[in-house]
Amino acid sequence: MAIRSYRSITPTFDSSVYIDESAVLVGDISLGEQSSIWPLVAARGDVNVIRIGKRTNVQDGSVLHVTRKSKQNPMGFPLIVGDDVTVGHKCMLHGCQLGNRILVGMGAIIMDGAVVQDDVFIGAGSLIAPNKVLESGYLYVGNPAVKKRLLNDAEMAFLKQSAINYVELSREYLGQ
Ligand SMILES: CC(C)(COP(=O)(O)OP(=O)(O)OC[C@H]1O[C@@H](n2cnc3c(N)ncnc32)[C@H](O)[C@@H]1OP(=O)(O)O)[C@@H](O)C(=O)NCCC(=O)NCCS
């Protein structure tokens, strides 16, 4: 497993977190309880921080990075992800902020300064442009992504269920 320090700061997480041994996590990263990181994820908390909440899963091949602080942008762009978020295969999350109960479809790209509110479904392959705000309760799709329609009850329920499924799967991998 490649859990690496950068400037003496090492990723932090407890024993309920599953991290595949092929994933690489560097620097100032924290992961909440029962979150999971799947094969070949690269997460680099070097020039800013990465914060991931509880029961969130980041699936295979996804890349997580941040933007440094500058005169023009004193906070830079950290990456903040809430609870019960599913990040599908091969996504790019860069310096953005995600709330709770979100599904990021496979191959989606979310750019600096974008904010995804709670309970949002992002279709596979979508591009969320810098500083966009995605409103709670909606499906967004496309490149650039547009608000497509309100989520139905089944989709709303699936946002949470997907996170539960991944908690269960990760417990199996942990042998718990
Ligand atoms: C978004 C998604 C749920 C669509 O569900 P759906 O019930 O088929 O959606 P709808 O039938 O309401 O489609 C709405 C419109 O968006 C389009 N659309 C659907 N998914 C799209 C996508 N990923 N990108 C662009 N357009 C998409 C549909 O073609 C349709 O277009 P139209 O209005 O011109 O006919 C599904 O396509 C998707 O992307 N799922 C992501 C799955 C995933 O990545 N999971 C994580 C890994 S486990």
* Model pLDDT for residues 87-121, shown as the tens digit of each residue: 999 999 999 999 999 999 999 999 999 999 999 99
What is the domain partition of the chain in residue ranges? 2-173
Q: Which atom of ligand 1 is nearest to the CA of 142?
A: 25
pLDDT of residue 52: 98
Q: Please give the CATH topology (third level) of the domain spanning 2-173.
A: UDP N-Acetylglucosamine Acyltransferase; domain 1 (2.160.10)
Q: Which residues pair with 83 in a beta bridge?
A: none
- Specify the residue with its C-alpha closest to ligand 1, atom 34: 148
Q: What is the phi/psi pair of residue 31, to 5°?
A: -125, 130
Residue 139 alpha carbon to ligand 1 centre in Å: 8
CB 170 within 8 A of CB 15: no
Q: What is the mean pLDDT of residues 128-147?
A: 98
Q: Determine the straight-line distance between the first and last CA of the chain, rounded to whole angstroms.
A: 19
- Which tokens belong to 38? 């799947």
Q: What angle do CA 39, 154, 102 make, to 5 degrees?
A: 40
In this model, does residue 1 exceed pLDDT 80? no
* Model pLDDT for residues 76-85, shown as the tens digit of each residue: 999 999 999 9
- What are the C-alpha distances in Å from 87 to residues 71, 81, 117, 130, 166? 31, 10, 15, 18, 11
In this model, does residue 159 exceed pLDDT 90? yes
